[in-house]
Chains A and B, each alone.
Chain A
């Protein structure tokens, strides 16, 4: 039978212009097919018939269609996208232009639109429409990261080509942070449900590329824009922190690029969870209880080799069991040689005990516990809260109870915590120091109804 299949394929390929006829016979058969197509043109309906049938159908449709329109299903109500007036007008213009000039010109114009341009709302409207058509966490999360990348590209564009009010830059960078946040959260959720590494790798690659772009903006912004930039970098560092915890073996991260996120200077820990702006962090051994060989966080991932190659498999399985997140990383803490690293490789940190701010304050018997938090609304009533430790520098152990029954976290700055429902939560941070003194503080986090 194989000759039949091969012949059939050759013929099909030649018909569609993918290959030249493989034999004289095929060539002749192609000629027959062409003759058929010519004949088709002679089988045209008469214009008179064409029009008269259309008229009859339209008359019929007036009764048939409206009378029996079925109840609107959930799918039809799928998404209500609100269109600002400018987008509406632009949509009509685009649709009309599409038929005459093709979409190319319009596309190029709005694709490169920057905040402040006339066509910029169209660009954002298009993004939203495309997002609405994405299905499933994986797709949606990845697409949000694409949108975030657009924002940072725009931020760079704004800086290079014009002088703009700092608020425009700031807003763009804030939008970046939000999309990065939502996108990575969604992908993390997908990863937790499906274990598809591709989701984490997508985040890593996104972090990689945008970290570089954020870095390019350093020093070029001031005022609110600079603040937004710092927040964006912090955000990204925290995201990378999460992914390396969840899947240390997942590749896509370039260590050097990521360590640049936390900025040069005294905060030498490559750990992303110590954001530049908080000085007291410097002293203590850092964020993550450091497993000797390896990646940050709960997993003493055995094979510490840097597998940047996303196609490698199941490296993270040979660690002692626990594939949970950092909250269970009790046992690693004892090792003071902290290697808080975002990447899976065991590269020792350049200075294991970064001590930019002398912790030579007269050590009280017990540390002072404190923290700050800030929330960003998520989907529905969700609130995504970022907690930042603000305890005294001598604290070396942390334990966070988020007040919603979720597992505790034992790192200095826990990964972003999502409260799914509105309400008030009592969040407790307990800290202890080297000499065994401990303290705790409880604060209320309120998730508003939206």
Chain B
């Protein structure tokens, strides 16, 4: 009946009532992974609430947790590390400025940040009036049971080639792959970010990976 969670909660409750005590705030925030269990979700909630109340350090902790995930997503999308840095900066700046409008019920925090990033990416390309990311020829989609490429072939592909292949997919499939495998969001988080049901996301990820497999195979063959 008495779980570890309880001790954490009293720490959080205390931190919320005494935000000037930095030690507790820091101790709460310092888990590295994207949140997975209830404990982590509680921590995130606490940090968000603190940040909304004006605690810059709490926001810093949120940044620490999500920065890599967002960066990877953006980097995979745009290809260029420099551009990825710019967009990532803008993403967090925007998040900082609109943290007050974030409500827990609306969107999961990771999904919220990812949405900001996606919008910024879209804005960037729209404003440049150039074609969106790299496009290659797509083989027609079939409901197939063909085996995907050998693992050897896969291993031999450079990350750059792989990402190019990912970016050649239709937008939703591409984003699904990026969220699920680059950002490592859960099905639920991905569903929120894409505005879909979890079942739809499961189907989407299958379609996307199948398609990617075909693209990769084609790339390596040629």
Residues on A lying within 8 angstroms of B by beta carbon are 4-5, 7-9, 11-12, 15, 23-25, 28-29, 31-33, 35-40, 42-46, 49-50, 53-54, 56-58, 60-62, 64-66, 68-70, 72, 76, 80-81, 83, 87-88, 91-92, 94-96, 98-99, 102-104, 106-107, 110-111, 122-123, 125-130, 132-133, 146, 149-150
Contacts and interface: CB of A to CB of B under 8 A. Distances in A.
A178 to B, nearest CB: 19
Contacts of B31: 99
Interface string B183-218: 110010000000000010011011001101100100
A225 B160 CA distance: 75
Contact of A43 (B72, B96, B177): B72
Closest 10 pairs between A and B when the two form their complex, measured CB to CB: A28-B148, A103-B4, A95-B27, A61-B56, A36-B181, A95-B11, A111-B2, A129-B10, A126-B6, A69-B54
B209 A33 contact: yes
Given A54-B63, A91-B24, A150-B1, 19 more contacts: A8-B203, A15-B205, A25-B147, A32-B213, A36-B177, A45-B85, A50-B67, A60-B93, A65-B59, A65-B99, A81-B14, A83-B14, A87-B10, A87-B14, A92-B24, A98-B4, A103-B7, A106-B7, A126-B7
Contacts of A9: 202
Query: Which size class do B's interface residues fall under?
Result: 35 or more
Contact of A94 (B10, B54, B147, B151): B10
Contacts, number: 231
A65 B210 contact: no
B184 A92 contact: no
Interface stretch (B45-53, B110-118, B123-131, B132-140): B45-53
B181 A92 contact: no
B216 A39 contact: no
A31 B213 CA distance: 10
B157 to A, nearest CB: 7
Contact of A40 (B72, B157, B187): B72
B28 interface: yes
18 contacts: A11-B209, A12-B206, A28-B213, A31-B154, A39-B159, A40-B182, A44-B71, A45-B67, A45-B85, A57-B59, A61-B59, A69-B52, A69-B100, A87-B10, A94-B11, A99-B30, A126-B9, A133-B13
Contact of A57 (B11, B60, B187): B60
Contact of B23 (A92, A107, A127): A92
A433 B103 CA distance: 65
B71 A126 contact: no
Interface of B: 1-15, 17-18, 21, 23-24, 27-28, 30-31, 49, 51-57, 59-60, 63-64, 67-68, 71-72, 75-76, 81, 84-85, 88-89, 92-93, 96-97, 99-100, 143-149, 151, 154-155, 157, 159, 162-163, 166, 177, 180-184, 187, 199, 202-203, 205-206, 209-210, 212-213, 216
A371 B173 CA distance: 76
Decide if the interface of chain B is mainly helix, strand, loop or mixed: helix
Given A29-B210, A43-B76, A61-B96, A95 B148 contact: no
A126 B96 CA distance: 32
Contacts of A40: 72, 76, 181-184
A28 B149 contact: yes
B202 A8 contact: yes
A149 B89 CA distance: 52
A15 B181 CA distance: 10
